[in-house]
Amino acid sequence: MIWEDRPVQARFVTPEELAQLPLRKPPVVEGAIRVVSVPDFDHSACGGTHPRSTGAVGIIHLRRTEKRGNETRVEFLCGGRVARDLRGKNDALTRIATGLTVGPDELDGAVARLRESEQGNRKRLEDAMERLAAFEAVELVGKGKVVMAAYSDRTINDLKTLANQIIARGGVALLGLRGEKAQIVFASPAGSPVNAGALLKEVVGQFGGKGGGQAAMAQGGLPDASKLDAALSLAKERIPT
C-alpha cells in the first residue's frame, strides 16, 4: 500500500453512508463521524491527522511480534523513526563487530563462538572452584565439625559448593555472605541431628529475615547485613555439642 502511494481520503459521512462502509472498528461516539479511507483497502473512523497519500508514510519497520493468547501484539515504527532506529542499530552492530574483529555479516558466528568459549570457561572455572572448595573444606572441618564462616568476595553458589564439600566430610556448615543484604547457607550431613532448614528458619526469624530449605541444606537472607555475625553465632549456639 505504501509503494502504490494510494490517496488517503478524510471526510464526514452521513449515518446512511456509515452503515455501508466496511469499517475496521465501529465508532463509539455519536454525532458527525469522520472516516479516513484508503480506497479498496481500509476505512477507519478517526478524527486525527493523516497523510495525503500512503506513500507519505515512507516505510514501516516491524520490530517484533508477541503472541498473547489468541491475539498477536505487534511493535512497529514508521517514517523517520525507522531511519533513526535502524541507524542506531547499524552503529551498534558496527561497534560490536569492530570489537570482535569481524564484519557485521559474520557476527552470528562470532557470537556463537564467544558463547561456546564462555560456557567452556565457566565449566572449567566451576570445576576448579569445586576442587578448591574441597581443599578448603578439609582444612575447615579439621578445625571443628561445626564450620562457621562469613565471606564478602564470593557468590551464593560458591557458598553452596563449599557447604556441600563440608557436609561430605561430616561437618555442619554455617556460612554467610556479606553484602547489601546478608545471605546465609546452612548445611548438615546425612544422619546428623541438625536440621538445616529448621535451624535457618528459626535463626533468620530472630533478625527479621526469611528463608527455608530442606534438612540437608537451606538458604535465607537478612535485611540488616550488620546482623550476619550475630545470626551465625546464634545458629552455632543452637547446635548441640
Listed as own residue / partner, the contacts of 47-51 with beta carbons closer than 8 Å and 24 or more positions apart are 50/8, 50/10, 51/8
216 inside domain: yes
Q: Which of 132, 127, 238 is nearest to 186 (CA)?
A: 238
125 inside domain: no
128 inside domain: no
131 inside domain: no
- pLDDT tens digits, residue range 202-238? 999 999 999 989 999 999 999 999 999 999 999 999 9
120 inside domain: no
The boundaries of the domain holding residue 37 are 1-57
Residue 107 has pLDDT above 80, yes or no: yes
When pLDDT is cut at 50, 70 and 90, the band that residue 8 belongs to is very high
Instruction: Return the higher-pLDDT residue of 43 and 180.
Output: 43
| The pLDDT value given to residue 28 | 82
Across 16-25, 50-59, 64-73, 134-143, least confident range: 16-25
Residue 30 has pLDDT above 90, yes or no: no
76 inside domain: no
The DSSP result for 43-86, as a single string, is: EEE--S---SBGGGG--EEEEEEEEETTEEEEEEEETHHHHHHH
| The pLDDT value given to residue 67 | 94
Read off the pLDDT of each residue in 126-141 and give the average, rounded to a whole number.
91
| The pLDDT value given to residue 179 | 86
The DSSP result for 111-136, as a single string, is: HHHHHHHHHHHHHHHHHHHHHHHHHH
| The pLDDT value given to residue 25 | 87
Choosing from 16, 42, 57, the residue where a domain stops is 57
Q: Which three cell numbers stand for residue 135?
A: 581443599
Read off the pLDDT of each residue in 143-164 and give the average, rounded to a whole number.
93
Across 30-39, 51-60, 82-91, least confident range: 30-39
Residue 65 has pLDDT above 90, yes or no: yes
pTM: 0.59
Structural domain count, the chain: 2
Q: In which region does residue 5 sit, left (phi positive, over 0), alpha (psi from -120 to 50) or beta (all else)?
A: left
For residue 173, the domain's CATH number is 3.10.310.40
